[in-house]
């Protein structure tokens, strides 16, 4: 399989780092990609930050040579998707981080507290009852409910904590309306990553830590998959899953060693 891989799509949270802590093999992984001139895209469901923010984070961890075109987030995918469907100036209420808000503003949307036509929800580390209440009332009043991604949990240094999917579930329960999901495992995220990598599915490897989004979504497009056990999944959850990745590694060092023949 290694010789057929020409490009790599990699998740970030749980693969490259946990919160602000780099995982073992981070710098070696990027040295491996640059030395072999392998096209790559980092595709994350985390909508809190912009691609530029992730470039800065990687630089702070000792990884140089990354630029925003290497990164696709569920926030960028959401902004691009909505931009194709709604005119500039469309009123949007956001439950999410500063990066998501910035991306939607840059895409021409008007961020409002009242009278929104769209409610866009992603990970929000400052979630409050008032935000959930406002989103619920807007959706019940006719606003379309958009979710950046369905991840129920988020890998942090302390362990798994609530993710965007948990917030979506809360608002769905209160509003009686299910969100339209943009990020992984939906096709849009993977198609955007493939375009940016300039690669075909059959020659691409997806590296992720979550079966329900990274692995299932990639396999639906015919992309080869590798699961690392440094994020969400465990050996027990892997054994219990009906979906199985093509490759499984304890972490990045083991993955690099196995792919050394590329």
For residue range 178-203, list pLDDT tens digits in order.
999 999 999 989 998 999 999 999 99
Give me the CATH number covering residue 214.
3.40.50.1000
Same domain for 217 and 143, yes or no, is no
Q: Catalytic pick from 11, 124, 209, 214?
A: 11
Same domain for 150 and 193, yes or no, is no
Any bridge partners for residue 111, and if so which? 92
pLDDT at 48: 87
E strand or H helix at 240: helix 235-240
Same domain for 83 and 176, yes or no, is yes
Output the pTM of the full model.
0.88
Same domain for 79 and 175, yes or no, is yes
- Per 3-state DSSP, what percentage of the chain is helix, strand, and coil (rounded to 5)? 40, 20, 35
Alpha-carbon distance values, 162 to 122, 168, 169, 212, 230 (Å) = 11, 11, 11, 16, 17
- The answer to whether residue 69 sits within a structural domain is no
Same domain for 159 and 221, yes or no, is no
Q: Catalytic pick from 13, 124, 209, 214?
A: 13
Distance between CA atoms of residues 49 and 151, nearest Å: 16
For residue 57, the SS3 value is: helix
For residue range 14-55, list pLDDT tens digits in order.
999 998 999 999 999 999 999 999 999 999 999 989 999 999
Range of the domain at 126: 75-181
What is the number of other CB atoms lying within 10 angstroms of the CB of residue 243? 12
For residues 254-259, average pLDDT: 94
* 124 a catalytic residue: no
* 13 a catalytic residue: yes
Alpha-carbon distance values, 5 to 8, 87, 223, 229 (Å) = 8, 39, 10, 21
The domain total for the chain is: 2
For residues 131-142, average pLDDT: 98
- The answer to whether residue 134 sits within a structural domain is yes
Same domain for 130 and 113, yes or no, is yes
E strand or H helix at 73: strand 71-73
- The answer to whether residue 239 sits within a structural domain is yes
pLDDT at 93: 98
Domain end (from 126, 152, 181): 181
Domain end (from 181, 210, 242): 181
């Amino acid at each position: 399989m290694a010789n057929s891989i020409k490009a790599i799509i990699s998740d970030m949270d749980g693969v490259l780092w946990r919160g602000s802590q780099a995982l073992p093999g981070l710098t070696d992984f990027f040295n491996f990609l640059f030395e072999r001139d392998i096209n790559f895209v980092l595709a994350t469901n985390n909508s809190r930050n912009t691609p530029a923010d992730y470039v800065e984070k990687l630089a702070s961890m000792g990884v140089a040579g990354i630029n925003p075109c290497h990164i696709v987030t569920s926030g960028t995918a959401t902004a691009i998707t909505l931009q194709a469907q709604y005119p500039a100036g469309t009123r949007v209420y956001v439950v999410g981080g500063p990066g998501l808000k910035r991306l939607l503003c840059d895409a021409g949307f008007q961020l409002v507290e009242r009278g929104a036509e769209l409610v866009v929800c992603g990970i929000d580390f400052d979630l409050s009852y008032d935000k959930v209440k406002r989103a619920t009332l807007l959706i019940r009043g006719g606003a379309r409910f958009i979710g950046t991604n369905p991840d129920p949990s988020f890998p942090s240094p302390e362990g798994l904590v609530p993710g965007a999917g948990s917030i979506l579930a809360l608002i769905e329960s209160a509003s009686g309306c299910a969100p339209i999901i943009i990020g992984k495992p939906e096709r849009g995220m993977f198609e955007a990553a493939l375009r940016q990598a300039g690669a075909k599915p059959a020659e691409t490897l997806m590296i992720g830590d979550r079966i329900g989004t990274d692995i299932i979504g990639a396999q639906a497009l015919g992309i080869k998959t590798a699961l690392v056990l440094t994020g969400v999944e465990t050996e027990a959850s892997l054994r219990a899953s009906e979906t199985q990745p093509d490759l499984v590694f304890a972490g990045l060092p083991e993955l690099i060693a196995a792919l050394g023949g590329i």
